[in-house]
Structures are given as structure tokens and as C-alpha cells.
Structure 1
Amino acid sequence: KPLLLLCQAADGMKRDGEISESDGCTVRSVEELSAAYDLVVGADGVRSAVREALEARAGSSTRTVRFEDNNRRLYKTVTLHPEDVAGTPSDLNWGARNVSLSLGFDALPTAEGPMVGVVLAQPGTAGYTALEKVTDVEKARSFFDECLPGLSPYLREDDLSRFAAR
């Protein structure tokens, strides 16, 4: 069983004995707060400090297994403005797909009003080729008009410029 060592005592906490808090919690020194567990989940991201600590421990059988990335995508983000078209709900997630180009699109609302959209394409598809050709505002406008025309009314020139620059 891996040994889980909990964090050091917070500033101002005494390390010699217990301190009872007014809410009924008991704080003990770090030395008293170690335990063995059958399972520890390190859900702290790709650069997991928990996983690294478990792997580094002498005698640990914890190992990282990385799988081949066989689902690569090219993506570009774009801002959409539902407020630019009267009657458009701005609190919904949007999704679109151009099947003939193998192109995907998803957008989420923000608290400020605009939506954050992501255009996705797989290498080797017509959508990927079309997305790679977007190098300026005019090409960005043409890309949306031809590939995802339903989004065009919600796009502003400055956002298309940033989309092309990505």
C-alpha cells in the first residue's frame, strides 16, 4: 500500500500536540497524519505531482503509461456574438458539423455575453486543409461562409483577424 503523507501544518499551527478548533475539527502534526491506502487517485493533471511522488518512492510499483496519440486535431478558437442577431439565445451550448469536410465546431457561452468557439479538424481531411489556408481576415470570412455558414452572422472582423492569426 502506498503511504500518503498529508501536507505540513499551516502557518501558526503548533506541531507539538493537538489543537482543537471551535468547529470540532482536530489538527495533528504531520508526523501523526500518515496513513496507508489501497488506492490513491492523483487527479491533478498531466504533470501530476501525486503520480510523480508515488513513482519516486522506493519500492513503489506505480508507473505512468502513456498511450500513442492517434486522435490528433488541429483547432482554432473564435469568439461569437449572439447579441449581434436579435432573438438569439446566448445561454446555450452550440455545436455544428460539416460532414463532407470532417469539420467540427463547439461553442460555450460566457458570463460576459460572447461565446467561445472551437473549430476542430483531423489531419488528412478536407476540413484540415481548409483550416490551414486561413491566414487573414478575408480567408477567415470565406472559410466560415463556405464551411460553417450558419455562424457567419455572429462573427466580427476583429475576431476573424485573431482566428486567422492562430
Structure 2
Amino acid sequence: MKCDDIKALYDGFKSEMLTANESSAVSEHLAGCTDCNDYYFENKKLARLLDNWDEISPQSNYVSKFWNRVDEQELNKNKGFIGLFKGIKTAFLVPSLAIALFCSLLIVNMYRTTNIDPQVSEEDERDNRLLLEVNDIISQEGSESLKIYGLWNDLEEEPKEG
């Protein structure tokens, strides 16, 4: 058997719950393996120390102190961020949430784009036709028609070298 198998069977060996074959295999392995033998004797010493340990009896008011401490921790647990909202009444909470919802819907509707066609007046149509005519004239004549504004005259002159 391997050392890991022996260590797994150790509790049964100590309490004599193993079969005769398993018990003899563990005894033979302990006689031949120093590591497992040391492990066995260390555990045996530990068991003797724990058997000699005096039982500790709690104080007479231990239970009441325990429950008082639990109550204090419950009170302290609610002092965090969520504890700030513990005293809010639902009569105040519901209307405030309704107002917040109404305001958010109002803001969303203000900035929402609509699919309604914009109203076009006769003046707008005339302006659009005029712009299209000017665009046609400029595209037919090229940039020559823009020279009347004077800016393009300066661009055609080459810079003078000094």
C-alpha cells in the first residue's frame, strides 16, 4: 500500500474499525515506513493531549451576552448606506418615484425626434428654388461667377518673392 492509502485508513486503524487484512497491511506498512510511523506516533500524541484537555465551561451569563452581541451587530449592520433609507416611509417614497418617472418621461419626449413631416411654407419653397437656381448657375459657370466678390482675385495672383 502507498503512504496516502495508509493515512486514509489511519482513523479506522486507530479506532479498530478495519478488517483484519486491512489492519495487518497498515501494521506492516508502519513497521517498514518511517514517515508513516512518525505520522502515526504524532497523531497518537495529539490524541493523548486532547484527551487530557480540561473541558472549558462557559460563564453563567454567556448565552445572554451572546444574544445581546447579536442584537448590537444587527443594529450596527443597518448603519451603512442602506441603513439611511430604513426610516423612509412608503407614503413618501411612492409619490417621489412617480414624480421622478414623470420628469424622466417628459425629458425623453422633449428630446425625441418625431417622424412627422415638417410644415413647409410657400416662402420656404421659393427660397429653396432660388438656392437651386444659384447652385445651377455657379456649377455651369464654374468659379468665374464668384470673382465678383473679390476674394478669388487675390488667390490667382502669385505671391511676390522679396
TM-score for the superposition, normalised by structure 2: 0.18
From the CA coordinates, give the structure whose radius of gyration is larger. 2
TM-score for the superposition, normalised by structure 1: 0.18
Considering Cα pairs closer than 8 Å and 6+ residues apart, tell me whether 1 or 2 has the greater RCO.
1
Higher strand share: 1
Higher helix share: 2
